[in-house]
Structure formats: C-alpha cells, structure tokens
Amino acid sequence: MKSHYRVVVIGGGVVGTSVLYHLAKMGWSDVCLIERSVLTAGSSWHAAGGIHALNADPNIAQLQAYTIDLLSEIEKESGQNIGLHMTGGLTMAGTPDRWEWLQSAYRTFQSIGIEDCRLVSVEEAVELNPIMSGEGLLGGMWADREGYVDTTGTVHAYAGAAKKHGADVIEHNRVLELNQTLEGWEIVTEKGTINCEHVVNAAGLWAKQVGRMAGIELPVSPLNHHYLVSDTIPKLEELDFEVPMTVDLEGFTYMRQDQKGLLLGIYEVDHEHWMMDGAPWEYGFELQKEDTDRIEKELIMGFERYPDLQNVGVKTWVNGAFTFSPDGNPLVGPVPGKRGYWTACAVMAGFLQGGGVGKSLAEWIINGEPEADVYGMDVARYGVFAENKQYIKETTGQFYSRRFIMTYPNEQLPAGRPLKMAPAYSDMTEAGCQWGQSWDLEVPLYFGGKGFEETPSLKRSNAFDIVAAECKAVRENVGLLDISGFSRFEVSGAGAEAWLNTIFATKLPEAGRSRLAVALGEDGRLKGDLTLFNWGDGTYWIMGSYYLRRWHMRWFDDHMGADVQVRDLGDEVCGFSLSGPNARKVIEKLSDGPVGDLPFMGCGAFDIGMLRCKVGRMSVTGELGYEIHCRMGDHITLRKTLLEAGADVGIKEIGFNAMLSLRLEKSYGIWSAEFTQGYTPAMTAMDRWIDFDKEGFVGRDAALAERDGNGPAQVQVTLEIEADGADASGYEPIWQDGNKIGFVTSGGYGHTMGKSYAMGLVDVASAAEGMDLTVHIVGVERTAKVIAPSPYDPKGKAMRP
C-alpha cells in the first residue's frame, strides 16, 4: 500500500469497483480501492443482480443502458465470468390506469432512444413466460435487454479490469478516520495512513459512517429487502429456454429464473428500516431472518401469479439490506463545502446503475463535468433539511413502499411534509390553497377552496377549471402569486462585478435594472437560466429555481473569485408577485414613490404599504408584472396589504399551475425541461442572451465554437397540438411521417388561447413554422404543428404598457 494516491475509493461493492475501473481506464491509474473486509461484503453479494434499460428518468435510463453494454466489455477485459443471462423482460399491468401508463411509458422510451421494447398482449406475455398466470392482467411491455448477472463475478470483473489498468485494490483494511488537508484528504486506515487529492464514499451500508467521518450527514438509510429462491420446478426443466425477467406491478414482485427454480423478489408496502445509522463494522455476509408475516400479502399474490411455486419448496430465503435515498435515486458527485470529497452511494440498483454511476463520477473527477446530465442523482439535489433522521425515515420508507405503486404526475405524496412553510401558509391554506413541494418548501399549486381534493390522473384533472379561472384573472385583472419558492443569492464585495462577469455569459445589467443571466459550464452547456438584479448600491441578486439552491451554490463556490461574497437568502427573503393589466393600479395604491414608473426589467427598493421591499418589474406570465420581495417576517402583512389594495380590481390568488400554463402561451422555457445541463445555448435559443464580445466568462470558448460551427442538430420549437382530454408533459416522442424527429420538453393547456401546447427539441430540418408533425400523448398519437413562438401576444405589448 502506497502512502499517496490521486484518488482513494472507499467500498468494495459493485459501485466502488466501477468507479475505480472507470478512473483507471480514463488514465488515472494512481488510484486505489480500500475495502474493510473483502470485495462484495455488504449488499453486493446477496443482490438479485437484475438488469434492465428502462427507467422513468430518461437520463438514468441512458446510464442503465450504458451499464448493460459495458458488462460484456469488463468480462472480456478482466477474464472474469460475470454469468450474464440476457433473458429479455416483461413488465405487466393489471389496472386500466397502469396499462395506460405503460403505453405512455413505451413512447417515452422511444423518445430517449430505447428501441428494443414493445407492447405485448397478455396472451403473448404468457407465451413468452409460460409459468406466469395471465389472470387479471391487461397487457405488458417487453424489453430485449433485460436479464441478470452473477453479482460476485461482476464485482470481481470490475476490480480485475481496474487492476489491469494500474489501479490497486486493498482488502481487509477498514478506514478509521478522514481528515481534510490543504492538498486533499488524509485517510487513516488499519494498515496505515494514505494521503490523496480525492476520496470517494462508495461505502454502501457504511456510507453513513464514512460521511460522518468528514462531518457530512448523508440522506441515506438501509431497508431490508426480501427474495426467495424456489426448489426445482418441473415445468422449467421441460422448457428449452430461460423464462424472462418479469415484473408484476400490481403484485409488488419481480421474478427471474434461478437455475431450474424461480427467484421471487418483493417490494412490500409494510417496509422495514434496518440500522439507520449504518451497519456494524463487522457485518458483511450475514442476513436478517425472513419475516413472512410482514410480506404475507405480497407473497400470496406472487404465488398466485406463478402457480408452480405452490407445488415446490423454498430453497433459500434472502432478507438483506440495501441503502436508499429519499427519492430512490443514487447520491453521486462532489459534496458542497467539502472539496475533494465525492459520493457514490445509495445506488440501490447497483448492478443496473453501477456502470453509469462509475462512468459519470470518473468523468466528473477528471474532467470537471460528467458527459450526461446527472442532476437526478446529484448529491446536491438535497439540502440540510434532508439530514434529519425522521425526514430520511419517512421519505426512504415511502419510496420503498411505492416502488411498484403508480404515481400520477399531479399526485402529491405526504412523506417529509409539510416541512418548511412560508409565513402566510396558514392564511393561504384557509383561503383554499392546495400545496406542492419544492425542495423543503411548500409552494402553492392553485386555490381550489377548502375541502377540495384533486383526483390523481394521467389526463386533465378535476382542477382544470380552477386553474383556468386563475389564468383568466391574470390575463384580465391581476393575480397574486407567492414567490417564496424562488432562490435568491446576494452578491457583494469589491470583486462582485468582476466575478459576475466571469460566472455569467450575459452582459451585466446597469444600476437599477435586471436581466436574464445565462450561466455556462466549461463545456459550453447550460448551468442556469437565472435573473440578475443590480440594485445600484454595490449589491446584486441572483434569482433562480428554489430547488437548485445547493446545486447553484456549489457551482458558485467552485468558481469563486477574489473579494466577493455570495450569500444564500433563501431562508431570509420571500415575497409575492402581481401579474395582470391591473397590477400597476394595485402597487401604486401602496407606494408614494415611483414604483409604478419602473421600466420593464427595472428594479429598486420601495415602501409598499408599511413595508420596505425590493421590487422588480417583470413577469413570467407575459403580462404587466411586479415581483415584490420582503423579509420572512413581513410575508403575512405583505399578502394582506396586496389583497386589500387589489380588492376593487378583482385581485385573485393563484398558484404555480396557472403560471406554468401562462408561460407556455409565451413559449417561456423553464429549468429541468427546456433548459438543462445537457443542452447548449443554440439548441434552446439561449444564445441570444450571450455577450460574445465579453472576454473571460466560463464556457466562452465552447460557446464560440458552437456559434461558429455547423450549429446544433436539434433546436427548440413550440407546438400546437390537437389534444383531447390530455396534454403533453415531457419526453413524449415527436414524429414526422413515421420518423422520430424529437421529443417534448414540457407541455400543457393554454387556457387563454384554448389550445394544447408543447415545447420540444426537434431536428433542425423539421423546425420550420407550419411543419405538420404528430405527438404521442398518454400513448395516443395526436396531430401537431410547429407554430411561431409566443402564441399569446407575440410582440410582448402586454408586458410593456
């Protein structure tokens, strides 16, 4: 064991060995893996080893597809047999909604390039898997690239291939301490001390303790998971093929063949946490005793779905723990505030996602950015609120129990809520507000009235008319929206202007003005569509999406300049926006200053009633608007003041559902849909905001190369769709003459125009206005047409009266 390495990976499971392999293969051979026991000791050895390319998150689906392609490669590189069985797989639906969802999901997979799947009838499914009963099923989806691996062999294949590229693997060497140094990290182990630039926590069941060694509280928890392996089934002995991997969504079970028996795994509703503070250090190849009483309901359904199980015994029970995050996705990436400390944990589907996680993290460490957009598994998607043990228990348990339960796009889940509430939350609830969640904060969706309950649906819900009324209020009178759910960062110091000119590709606003600010990564892809305020007193504000607070703050910290301070105001400042033709009448009643005379995108500090507020004249609704920012303690008074002042002009409280409808009618994109770190400025028309004459901003060379090159292959368009009772939401495929030419980034109903709209990325050749296309919506193909941006008020006169 050397005393210094460039990177040390802690944890010898499938994720840790994959990270090691990818680092070494990409040229960083001065790396090692430290394992407290032996490789696979933890969760890897007892995992079921299932693999499939399908995932509801398209970016994670692509990483899973990469993992599947990689498996054969590491087998060849290492010479280690991984026991790969590509059986194909079935996912079965047993309710009308689920079958409808599966048909919709099939189209989503087509959007992201997964072409080797198809919908199947119950009869065909039973032919493909003759030991499955088709009773109660409505249909299914077949995928070619599904199967399973030998878990121990796969871990050793990753490790063996890594060693051939120069990496070291050190077993029987527990980490005792982690100490941050000026150069990186000091790792005190049982066999001595190692210094390194980067340390990767891939410790699985021990990730919690390895995080705490560095003063980090990771939102992870182990939960127990059951599967059984049956004795030999005579019917399987008669077949000349291996039955496919099969998921019975309504039965909470997954199944694969194991020799001539079946492996039946269960995601039971009655979940059970295990060792929430991390596994004992001596734990490794032990299991918990099976708890058949707790999983009785799911067992019965499983034995009914596969009747042959009723005639044979159970050869093996496995009840072992896996680590889960609050949303079930991995926790990957650099931990904010701990330079050189990286996570690769909570990868509950390690053999399915481990290859993609290893690739992305190695790219991140070596190149500064992963190739794929991995926000869905970025550790920075959680803040301090997720360190709370009760929050972790509720949310990880909710995910586990709902692993096979259908979640609707408009459904609000209860775990970990309500957590943070704006001060006027109770008053708004009394006024009929229905709430959603953004990060840790409750945000208003719409005002349905006390006692209203929205019906979960894949189509337009019973809240449709409520949102329509809110949109009408904004277009004709004035709407009041709680905007506590925006992030706000204060930038100050002598170096503030110089730093902002570096971090943003946009020209900075003059004093008393605001501007859309585009941030780019070094590779020229988007890092933010933010709003920058110049208050004229030497301070600036950066505003953006609330749920990206920690993600953006990490980016700012990683590119911090001299003599500049950036402060997150998310727990100090909140506010409301006024939008609509009567917005000026409301605000002028409350201030004797020139707030009503603010020019479009102007900003300043004003008295609003008895409150001193910061005000910006802007709106994402396409109407005359003002964003009014106040201290948290003033939120209740500000709401009451604005409602009283607007009573005689028909002011109406609205939620973000109305705002999303109104912004679609203006072709305004939003982050995580039209704008992501996977897209470039020219793809999304954000290049029009870039000041290419400005020197030294992050991503300038890449942005210039895109501008001066052949241009992107796909560009953003607005579509008008002949929809019927359902609207596009995202990742639906877009077709032209039977050829897939793009996908929807977001969609919905434009209540003012009375039409269904979507925004999407399409091939350049298909982006011309008037182009006739089709879009699948909830599995049904609908006609669509490319239209000019901003179908409502295309010249923007309503915003600038």
pLDDT in tens, 67-105: 999 999 999 999 999 999 999 999 999 999 999 999 999
Segments of 272-430 assigned E as strands: 314-324, 331-334, 341-345
DSSP state of 599: P
Residue 763 CA: distances (Å) to CA of 126, 676, 746: 39, 18, 17
Q: What is the mean pLDDT of residues 192-210?
A: 98
SS3 category, 615: strand
Model confidence at 54, pLDDT cuts 50, 70, 90, reads confident
Res 55 pLDDT > 80: no
Model confidence at 157, pLDDT cuts 50, 70, 90, reads very high
| Length in residues, the chain | 801
Give residue 457's pLDDT: 95
SS3 category, 627: strand
Model confidence at 594, pLDDT cuts 50, 70, 90, reads confident
Rounded mean pLDDT of the chain? 96
Residue linked to tokens 């896996």: 322
Torsion angle in degrees (nearest 10) through CA of 399, 402, 407, 411: -70
Architecture of domain 4-332+340-364: 3-Layer(bba) Sandwich (3.50)
Give residue 597's pLDDT: 85
Res 590 pLDDT > 90: yes
Closest by CA to 389, choosing from 278, 553, 279, 284, is: 278
pLDDT in tens, 371-405: 999 999 999 999 999 999 999 999 999 999 999 99
Give residue 58's pLDDT: 75
pLDDT in tens, 705-751: 999 999 999 999 999 999 999 999 999 999 999 999 999 999 999 99
Is the previous residue joined to 418 through a cis bond, with omega within 30 degrees of 0?
yes
The CATH class given to the 713-787 domain equals: mainly beta
Q: What is the mean pLDDT of residues 208-232?
A: 98
Give residue 61's pLDDT: 82
- Tell me the H-state helices in 384-525: 389-401, 425-430, 464-476, 496-503
Burial group, residue 158, by CB count within 10 angstroms (0-12, 13-18, 19+):
buried
Give residue 354's pLDDT: 96
Give residue 270's pLDDT: 96
Model confidence at 113, pLDDT cuts 50, 70, 90, reads confident
Half-sphere exposure of 126 toward its Cβ, with a 13 Å CA cutoff?
12
The CA distance from 404 to 657, in Å, is: 27
Query: b/e for 205-216, b at 16 or more Cβ within 10 A?
Result: bbbbbbbebbeb
Res 112 pLDDT > 90: no
- Percentage of the chain lying above the pLDDT 90 cut: 95
Summary count for the chain: helices (H), strands (E):
19, 37
Res 53 pLDDT > 90: no
Q: Report, in angstroms and rounded to the nearest whole number, the Rg of the chain calculated over CA atoms.
A: 27
Domain boundaries, the chain: 4-332+340-364, 713-787
Give residue 675's pLDDT: 98
pLDDT in tens, 657-695: 999 999 999 999 999 999 999 999 999 999 999 999 999
The CA distance from 195 to 2, in Å, is: 9
Res 593 pLDDT > 80: no
Contact 85, 147 (CB under 8 A): yes
Contact 352, 67 (CB under 8 A): yes
Q: What is the mean pLDDT of residues 548-554?
A: 97
- Percentage of the chain lying above the pLDDT 70 cut: 100
More confident residue, 259 or 801: 259
Q: What is the mean pLDDT of residues 226-234?
A: 98
Give residue 793's pLDDT: 97
The CA distance from 323 to 201, in Å, is: 13
Which phi and psi (to 5°) does residue 345 adopt?
Answer: -135, 180
Res 596 pLDDT > 90: no
The CA distance from 309 to 286, in Å, is: 26
Which phi and psi (to 5°) does residue 623 adopt?
Answer: -115, 170
Res 408 pLDDT > 80: yes
Res 556 pLDDT > 80: yes
Q: What is the mean pLDDT of residues 332-350?
A: 96
SS3 category, 71: helix
SS3 category, 333: strand
Residue linked to tokens 């109406």: 652
Q: What is the mean pLDDT of residues 458-479?
A: 98
Closest by CA to 617, choosing from 515, 757, 477, is: 515
The CA distance from 417 to 435, in Å, is: 10
Give residue 1's pLDDT: 85
DSSP state of 85: B
Res 576 pLDDT > 80: yes
Give residue 723's pLDDT: 96
Res 775 pLDDT > 90: yes
In this chain, the answer to whether the domains covering 4-332+340-364 and 713-787 adopt an identical fold is: no
